[in-house]
Structure 1
Amino acid sequence: MADIEFSLGEDPTLLIVDDDEPFLKRLGRAMEKRGFTVELAESVAAGKAVAAERPPAYAVVDLRLEDGNGLEVVETLRETRPDSRIVVLTGYGAIATAVAAVKIGATDYLSKPADADDVTRALLSTTDELPGPPENPMSADRVRWEHIQRVYELCDRNVSETARRLGMHRRTLQRILAKRSPR
């Protein structure tokens, strides 16, 4: 972290919401070492409760949690503290979910595995500079998968409607959605 110089400002409060307990605790400790005052939550319900009662200046929210969608926590944070900087973190990186997260108020979106330096950079970055072109562009399989994810999100996560619009069998779509994204 020596090469990363950022200012936390006057309020270093940070909420981390993730249902992967080892990851949650590890990231919490790492962020405390970087000067944040960390509060941990393992569910959408716990995250929303903290966001409503003690809205933090910063938040890192996992997208898919056991009891629901992390975007609910982002919405609560935006209502209670519009100036908070929020990073949505997920193991299911898809362009459609990134767009949805940013539309409802997330500052940035990171795919797992992301380390504490990546999270800190995303939370505290003040530049609007666009990243350079990718070293390894998406494969054709990945582009197809991203398109399916986008249509799925646009259909409000309705498998039958998505399958109809894509012209594929519902079971085929379910198998595709159950898999991790191709490289």
Structure 2
Amino acid sequence: MSQSSSMERLLLLVEDDEAFARVLKRSFERRGYAVLHAGNLDDMNGVLLTHTPTHAVVDLKLSGNTSGLDCVKALHAHNPDMLIVVLTGFASINTAVEAIKLGACQYLAKPSNTDDIEAAFGHIAGSEPVELSNRPTSIKNLEWERIHEVLVETDFNISETARRLGMHRRTLARKLEKRRVK
């Protein structure tokens, strides 16, 4: 791929896991993307001072209890045409809906690879038929949704989440370890 066409696809990777960021960066570069990396919201804002990415991959939970949703909002404000994919190890309907409302084109649970992410860049909301299930949501899934909703409200503070849910902190930690997707 020529240098000019790789510059047409400038990807900003907002990920605080350095090892995962390196792997994704190399993989996207092999596919012809120019890739910039930011480990947090401040770094991302610094990159946006001199660059206008066409694509972005944003981790939902960044170090320091920073929400990737703040990054999505800033990225979309910087360039409304940017294709933004949110990755998370804590998938929930609430954060997925919020990410899409803020400007993400897709929301993926980890583990996701470069193929998944690149396919998500091509996703256009409302363009694909979605099969509706007749199966009701299980109590366990409803519990997980509520836990994640409170986690987001408390900026992923485990102790405060446990307090608000009326459960012991260790019980909540065990539930999170069982359901965590990494």
Shorter-chain-normalised TM-score: which range?
0.7 to 0.9
Residues 25 and 35, structure 2, Cα contact 8 Å, conserved in 1: yes
State the Cα RMSD in Å: 3.3
The structure 2 residue matched to 1:26, chosen from 13, 23, 28, is 23
Q: Distance in 2 between matches of 1:137 and 1:52?
A: 47
1:54 equivalent in alignment to 2:90: no
AA of the residue aligned to 1:24: A
1:65 equivalent in alignment to 2:62: yes
| SS of equivalent residue, structure 1 residue 75 | helix
Calculate the TM-score normalised by the size of structure 1.
Answer: 0.76
Residues 13 and 36, structure 1, Cα contact 8 Å, conserved in 2: yes
Tell me what 1:118 maps to.
116
Calculate the TM-score normalised by the size of structure 2.
Answer: 0.76
CA drift of 1:76 comes to 1.2
Structure 2 CA distance for partners of 1:47 and 1:173, relative to 1, 3 Å: farther
Aligned length: 173
Structure 2 CA distance for partners of 1:174 and 1:119, relative to 1, 3 Å: same
| SS of equivalent residue, structure 1 residue 53 | coil
Tell me what 1:81 maps to.
79
Identity of aligned residues (%): 35
| SS of equivalent residue, structure 2 residue 100 | helix
1:130 equivalent in alignment to 2:118: no
1:141 equivalent in alignment to 2:140: yes
Question: 1:18-41 CA distances to partner (integer Å, 9 max, x unpaired)?
Answer: 111111111111111222111112
More helix by proportion, 1 or 2? Answer: 2
Provide structure 1 residue ranges, at least 5 long, that are not aligned to the other structure.
1-7
